[in-house]
Structure 1
């Protein structure tokens, strides 16, 4: 079994993985809808994905603490009263 990163890296790894997956999906949909499903799609998509990820990762690092506070204010926490 591969060794895991220490828990203290969770605050970086979670937005990293989320930004990779979300920017890949959104950039693919946007690129395919703009250019069609032709042979140029893979190269256009990879270029769009790279640019999207460069924006997405730092954005998530900045926005995630705010999102956590909003969610905590609107969603009952585990073990809370009903």
Structure 2
């Protein structure tokens, strides 16, 4: 019996695990840049007509900067985390 690929939606199969290395920073940088750009726009200018249109424009520009920045700094952050956190799983008691 053949293993059927797991589908996301309809006939769109899930991506292989190797894509998680790019997708996680993509989603994280998008959510963070979107949140921060919206809060900064609201704090500095306030609500106005066309706020969301302006915010999307600012967000996309911010995301264009944020995603490559995350990719550049991620190895450094992993090393710093490894210095502070024991990343080896504990051994089960015998």
Q: Do the two structures share a fold, i.e. TM-score over 0.5?
A: yes
Q: Which residue pairs with 2:86 in the alignment?
A: 76
- Moved >6 Å (runs of 4+): none
Larger RCO (alpha carbons 8 Å, 6+ apart)? 1
Q: Which residue pairs with 2:16 in the alignment?
A: 6
Measure the CA separation in 1 of the matches of 2:80 and 2:45. Answer: 37
Gaps of 5+ in 2: 1-6
Gaps of 5+ in 1: none
1:1-82 equivalences under 5 Å are 1-2=7-8, 3-77=13-87, 78-79=89-90
Query: What's the TM-score once normalised by structure 1's chain length?
Result: 0.88
Query: What's the TM-score once normalised by structure 2's chain length?
Result: 0.78
The structure with the largest alpha-carbon Rg is 2
More strand per residue? 2
Measure the CA separation in 1 of the matches of 2:22 and 2:35. Answer: 20
